[in-house]
Amino acid sequence: MNALAATNRNFKLASRLLGLDSKLEKSLLIPFREIKVECTIPKDDGTLASFIGFRVQHDNARGPMKGGIRYHPEVEPDEVNALAQLMTWKTAVAKIPYGGAKGGIGCDPSELSISELERLTRVFTQKIHDLIGIHTDVPAPDMGTGPQTMAWMLDEYSKFHGHSPAVVTGKPIDLGGSLGRDAATGRGVLFATEALLNEHGKSISGQRFVIQGFGNVGSWAAKLINEKGGKIVAVSDVTGAIKNKNGIDISGLLEHTEENRGIKGFDGADSIDSDSVLVEDCDILIPAALGGVINRDNANEIKAKFIIEGANHPTDPEADEILKKKGVVILPDIYANSGGVTVSYFEWVQNIQGFMWEEERVNKELQNYMTRGFKDLKDMCKTHSCDLRMGAFTLGVNRVARATVIRGWGS
């Protein structure tokens, strides 16, 4: 089942639990606007290259639409649609005043020079500048993009609309980016894990963790969990996988990955097959890379008691059912990885106010949002006698449905 089908399925299950009528259900599911643009740029060698850019704006009942821009060869409409819808429910679960959006360009950023990426970003911004805005749709970085991409987008947008730092988030600090944004998703994973373990009478200290994916989310989660006394026993990234049952030296691994652009060749652990990392013996598994990695082929072999979804849609619905029968507790992506969009919201607020916060305040506010979010999620689980995934979906869908009806859009 692809990401869009899985997201639609979860939405419909939540809608049924909430008793939404079919007309409202349909209006919540259909995107507000889908944008597809051609982006043609001169390459460094003088030839022309064309790329397709997308932006799906899913819902704006609760506020401006919010979501990342990804540069990846496999960016396609269904995936962008699913991720935009997921952002609608995620921002509602986090109780921040946004709707969902997502966008991207079908390209391989590793095959483009810095100047080509800049030209591509500026052309894409020129094509969509009238459809995004501080109170309309606020892009952010995603896979294959980063603070520099946002700096180019801000600069290009400002040529048409005047200096507008709040039009994108995830910017460099010097252009109005927020302190704490880089670590936000990983730190949110930490706070989400703490909230879940606390519910089960446990703490992070002494728990054995496996982290699949050692990019921004996985590396920050590993660092922060390690600082809290958690033992990271296995890690993987695109270059390979490693394990050490006594615990990996995370400080050493972070230095190694910085120098070698990956975990491959790290001395302080044994090399293992990348596919086996998900089924390594541990207490808590954190998939923090791509979607669909936990599926019916490997679900039965997973040994973790808890799964914290740091990635978007890492668990297929079939795997969900298998794991539920095994008694594995899954903390869903629309809550567990919402730290990034929450601190993006803080950045937006700071830009609008023209008043920047200290990092300590950013982290404290994030902890408050994540802790309150878990309590709200658990309350929905009790109300509807459902698991955490359905608790999160019913929470998000209910908040968007209520805003839609109150505005008079649902009749």
**Among the options 43, 95, 102, 243, which is catalytic?**
102
Q: Report the C-alpha gap between 167 and 37 in whole angstroms.
A: 20
Active site residue 325: no
Q: 185: annotated binding-site residue? A: yes
Instruction: Specify whether the CB–CB gap between 404 and 61 falls below 8 A.
Output: yes
Instruction: Specify whether the CB–CB gap between 334 and 18 falls below 8 A.
Output: no
- The continuous run of DSSP H or E covering 198 comes out as helix 184-199
Q: 344: annotated binding-site residue? A: yes
Q: Report the C-alpha gap between 299 and 131 in whole angstroms.
A: 42
Order the strands of the 33-42 sheet from edge to edge: 33-42, 48-57, 99-106, 65-72, 137-141
Structure tokens at 111: 């095959």
Q: 26: annotated binding-site residue? A: no
Order the strands of the 284-287 sheet from edge to edge: 270-272, 240-243, 231-237, 208-212, 284-287, 306-308, 329-331
The strand pairing partners of 285, in sequence order, are 210, 307
Q: 378: annotated binding-site residue? A: no
HSE of 393, CA atoms in CB hemisphere, 13 A: 24
Look at the block and give the residue holding tokens 């400080």: 251
Look at the block and give the residue holding tokens 């120098």: 259
Closest CA to 53 of 128, 114, 115, 1: 128
Looking at 213-269, which runs of residues are DSSP E strands?
231-237, 240-243
Please name the residue ranges forming H helices in 249-338.
Answer: 250-260, 317-326, 333-336
Q: Report the C-alpha gap between 88 and 58 in whole angstroms.
A: 7
Q: 159: annotated binding-site residue? A: no
Q: Report the C-alpha gap between 135 and 162 in whole angstroms.
A: 15
- Indicate the residue type of 67: G
Q: What angle in degrees, to the nearest 10, is found between the helix axes of 77-93 and 3-18?
A: 40
Binding residues for NAD(+): 185, 216
Binding residues for substrate: 66, 90, 344
Binding residues: 66, 90, 185, 216, 344
Positions annotated as catalytic residues are 102
